[in-house]
Amino acid sequence: MPNEIISITDQRTNQTYNLPIETGTIRAMDLRQVKTGPEDFGLMTYDPAFMNTASCRSGITFIDGERGILEYRGYPIEVLAERCTFLEVAYLLLFGELPNQAELDNWVNEITHHTMVHETTKRFMEGFRHDAHPMALLVSTVAALATVYPEARDVHNPKNRLLQIKRLIGKMPSIAAMSYRHSLGYPYIYPDNDLSYTANFMNMLWRMVEPKYVANDVLARALDILFILHADHEQNCSTNTMRSVGSSHADPYLATAAAAAALSGPLHGGANEEVLRMLDAIGSTENVPAYIKQVKDGHGKLMGVGHRVYKNYDPRAKIIKWAADRVFEVTGRNPKIEIALELERIALEDEYFIKRKLYPNVDFYSGIIYEAMGFNPAMFTVLFAIPRTVGWLAQWQEMITDPEQKIARPRQVYTGQRTREFVPLQKRGLVAATKT
């Protein structure tokens, strides 16, 4: 039972309403009783971009942006990144608990045996232009999986849902690698079930004529850590899309394709690509102070800095910075890291950034690592989509089984014209024509 109440007095009617407060929220539907008369529809909230609206209850990911805390199912991200593999974390996100050894072995085995894509999918991908963006290939191909698994439409059957979840987690790296090789004109590589999730991904990306691909352990582990860090981030734009499309009970392949489409935008998954462009534009560490001055004067932004939720150092950025050093021991130092470190050093000491609580976010260092590993910027968002698929699916499953959820359907504040007199075609004047 709620034990806190907020009283709202409507100055239009002088009537007071007592609304219960639960877990720091009031229910928007409770405002509907606030009316000026029987004809009044009732009060609504107006919240473009969901700046202050909780759309669900979720037990998956916790963020405290003020303190820079990120936890999956109650475990700090730092501990998971240090102690777990990506598939272990995937299990945690989906089922709520860390697996024991037998559960983990079984889980890894099942995901590994879902990495192969149907031959029709391969042929489907061959039809794309060679210069198509890998993210567009990924979105289209994930949607096309719905044609291969029509039974996925039965979203209310828990066993069936789980099967599609395993298929999607298994096939995402395969499709991502095929998107990459397609853009280079290389033949596709079949998965190797002897390898770990990330080592197999590297195999499908980079194997050429050697009979067996041997992944570098440090790089495979770095990729695994990056996957853990990107696996979920509560109600972000793409996760909200997953829940919204899924709320109509669309099948999970189509909902995942929609979520990936949302991720593809530069304001979401594409930001790390922008960081690399910025570092290229700066060119060298001597130019950093001038660049910062330019940003402070209102010309452009420091890309990879600032966050809607984090008003402290993004905990993922700290781990990525650590992982970058491990990767550079293998690949050689990406010279852009020096520019990034100098940018961070100056920004963290500067009044402008301190006052606005602007700290490096997850994208600040991730692109530099990916580039050092040999990925071109067009692949960065695809690399994000692979692990985020786990978060999307965990959130989708939570939404489908939540009795409070219904089809997502926001309201609007209508600003157009009303009940106009119809003008027959012959009588429509020039004004209407020139408007179009």
Ligand X SMILES: CC(C)(COP(=O)(O)OP(=O)(O)OC[C@H]1O[C@@H](n2cnc3c(N)ncnc32)[C@H](O)[C@@H]1OP(=O)(O)O)[C@@H](O)C(=O)NCCC(=O)NCCS
- Positions in the binding site for ligand X (CB under 6 A): 271, 295, 301-308, 356, 358, 361-363
Which amino acid would we find at residue 401? T
Cβ proximity of 56 and 405 under 8 Å: yes
CB-wise, 220 or 279, nearer to ligand X? 279
CB of 355 to ligand X, least distance (A): 9
Q: Which of 30, 118, 133, 268 does the annotation list as catalytic?
A: 268
Cα distances from 102 to residues 75, 98, 356, in angstroms, run 21, 11, 48
The position carrying tokens 């991200």 is: 77
Q: Which of 114, 233, 307, 314 does the annotation list as catalytic?
A: 307
Q: Which residues contact 301 (CB under 8 A, 6 or more apart)?
A: 295
| 363 catalytically annotated | yes
Which amino acid would we find at residue 284? S
CB-wise, 275 or 323, nearer to ligand X? 275
CB of 308 to ligand X, least distance (A): 4
Give the C-alpha separation, 324 to 335, whole Å. Answer: 12
Give the C-alpha separation, 167 to 145, whole Å. Answer: 10
Give the nearest residue (CB) to ligand X: 306
| 113 catalytically annotated | no
Give the C-alpha separation, 293 to 289, whole Å. Answer: 6
What's the chain's length in residues? 436
CB of 358 to ligand X, least distance (A): 5
CB of 135 to ligand X, least distance (A): 16
Q: What is the DSSP letter of 269?
A: T
| 307 catalytically annotated | yes
What's phi and psi for 15, nearest 5 deg?
A: -95, 140
Alpha helices (runs of H) in 4-132, residue ranges in sequence order: 77-83, 86-95, 101-112, 119-126
CB-wise, 257 or 295, nearer to ligand X? 295
CB of 51 to ligand X, least distance (A): 9
Q: Which residues contact 109 (CB under 8 A, 6 or more apart)?
A: none
CB-wise, 224 or 363, nearer to ligand X? 363
CB-wise, 35 or 311, nearer to ligand X? 311
Which amino acid would we find at residue 30? D
Give the C-alpha separation, 26 to 5, whole Å. Answer: 9
Token pair for 234: 């509560």
Cβ proximity of 375 and 45 under 8 Å: no
CB of 206 to ligand X, least distance (A): 28
The set of catalytic residues is 268, 307, 363
